[in-house]
Amino acid sequence: MTNRLLRTPPIIGALLASMTLAACGYNQTEPVTHGENESVNVQAGNLVYQVQISRALNPEAVDDSQYLEAVDPAEARLSADDEWFGVWVRVENTTDTPHESTDEFKVKDAAGNEYEPIPIGDVNPFKYAPRLVEQKSGNGQPIQPDPDSASGSGPIQGSLVLFKVPHTIYQNSPAELEITPTEGGEASVVELDL
C-alpha cells in the first residue's frame, strides 16, 4: 500500500477560498443595512454606524450614574417596571464629503414595542449628539465621537444614546436599534445583545 499525500488542485483551492471570502461578506456589492449583532458596521445614508455596546444602566453604580448625568428632568424618574438602557454608537464617514450624523434612533422589540431616546443635557460628555462628520481625507475627524473626547477616548469609544425600557424587553427579544439616515429613507437595523 502506498502512502500518498492528498493534494487539492490549485484551481479547486482558489475556488474554495473565494467562496469562503464571499460567505464572510468580502464580496459584497451592496452596503450592509442589517447587522445581526453589535459588531457589524451598517450603512445608514452616507455614514457608517456601529453599536459599540448596549446594556442596562444602574443609577446606583458610580460609573453608570455619570452616564445618566443631565437626563431630562421630565424623564429622570423610573417606574418599578422600567430601567435605563444605553446604546453606545460610533459613526464613520468613508466618503469624500462631510455629512451630518443622524438624530433618529429607535429601539424596537420583537413584540413591536418602540422606544425613543431620552434627552440628555449638553453638560454630559458621553451623550450622542448629531454633528457634521468630516470626510475621510479632510482636516477634521472622520469619526464620531472625536477620539480626543471623553466618549471617544474611553474604553467604549462610542457616544451614549439613552433609552428608558421596561424589564419585559428581555422577554420580547430580540430587540433592534433602528437608525434612520439624516437624508431620510429606510432605516438600517442592528440587533442588540440583550
Whether residue 3 is contained in a domain is answered as no
Whether residue 21 is contained in a domain is answered as no
pLDDT score recorded for residue 30: 81
Rounded to two decimals, the pTM is 0.83
Whether residue 96 is contained in a domain is answered as yes
Higher pLDDT, 4 or 132: 132
Which structural domain range is residue 168 located in? 33-191
- How high is the mean pLDDT of the chain? 88
Whether residue 13 is contained in a domain is answered as no
Mean pLDDT to the nearest integer, 131-157: 89
Query: Which neighbouring-strand residues pair with 100?
Result: 132
Handedness of CA 74, 75, 78, 82 (dihedral sign): positive
pLDDT score recorded for residue 12: 55
Whether residue 147 is contained in a domain is answered as yes
pLDDT band at 138 (very low <50, low <70, confident <90, very high): low
Whether residue 5 is contained in a domain is answered as no
Q: What is the CATH number of the domain that holds 129?
A: 2.60.40.1240
pLDDT band at 5 (very low <50, low <70, confident <90, very high): very low
Whether residue 20 is contained in a domain is answered as no
Whether residue 27 is contained in a domain is answered as no
Percent of the chain with pLDDT over 90: 77
Query: For 49-92, how does the pLDDT look when each residue is reduced to its tens digit (9 = 90+)?
Result: 999 999 999 999 998 999 999 999 889 899 999 999 999 999 99
How many independent structural domains does the chain possess?
A: 1
pLDDT band at 194 (very low <50, low <70, confident <90, very high): confident
pLDDT band at 15 (very low <50, low <70, confident <90, very high): very low
